[in-house]
Amino acid sequence: VRGIRHSLAWSADPAIFGAEAAAKDGAAAADPAFRRGFALLEKFGFSYDVWMFHEQLAQVADLARAFPGTTIVVNHVAEPLGIGSYSREATFPKWEKGIRELAAASPNVHCKLSGLAMCSTGFRFDERPVPPSSQELAAAWAPYFRVCLEAFGVERCLFASNFPVDKVSCDYTVLWNAFKLIVKDSSDADKRRLFHSNAKALYRM
């Protein structure tokens, strides 16, 4: 065991899959009983791999400040919502602000560059009769991943898939080629960190 996966994802919008998967608006993160359990993660050397929506970024930042010795891994760039009552255009600046604040909260917070192929993010590639190319995905997702890379730095980011969930929008090879296109101008050393070394170090493989 290297880490504990847990959901703080919550939304008032029933259009969002998993909207009620956690206590209201990430409130579990502030619950004293939850925090007593959370305190054990550092003791046993486990990471906290959290699934959340962009609306829970502030709660996770508070958790990171309260437990600076615990490694927190943000799954799917905190899933910025873009369907139902949400729009990508309105969500992006709120998400970006939350990401930058979370990255600054503790050097032990890491970010998985993944998950934007999910329907909930509102790119609507899943609705197309012909799947997107790697170039299309890279163009759509690059602004999000660049924010994360700027906020966390290359050393605290890692590419990851979300298969089979991502399959609703694209196939596996197209997804990973899109990731490669997004960082095509990065140094070989940075690419190795993002695609290999950071994950290996984070999960002690």
What's the pLDDT score for residue 86? 97
The two tokens of residue 173 are 């090879």
Q: State the residue range of the domain holding 147.
A: 3-202
Q: What is the CATH number of the domain that holds 136?
A: 3.20.20.140
Q: For residues 166 and 160, give the distance between their C-alpha atoms in angstroms, rounded to a whole number.
A: 11
* 97-156 pLDDT tens trace: 999 999 999 999 999 999 999 999 999 999 999 999 999 999 999 999 999 999 999 999
Question: Among residues 83, 84, 86, which one has the least CA distance to residue 123?
Answer: 83
Give the number of domains in the chain.
Answer: 1
What's the pLDDT score for residue 18? 67
Whole-Å CA distances, 165 to 115, 125, 147, 169, 170: 8, 13, 23, 9, 10
Mean pLDDT of 19-47: 84
Orientation of helix 172-182 relative to helix 134-152, angle to 10°:
50
In the structure, what pLDDT confidence band is assigned to residue 26 with cuts at 50, 70 and 90?
low
The reply to whether the predicted model has a pTM over 0.75 is: yes
Q: For residues 78 and 50, give the distance between their C-alpha atoms in angstroms, rounded to a whole number.
A: 9
* 61-109 pLDDT tens trace: 999 999 999 999 999 999 999 999 999 999 999 999 999 999 999 999 9
Bridge-based pairing of strands 72-74 and 3-7 is unpaired
CB-side exposure of 57: number of CA atoms within 13 Å? 25
| pLDDT of 22 above 80 | no
From the number of C-beta atoms within 10 Å of its C-beta (0-12, 13-18, 19+), residue 58 rates as middle
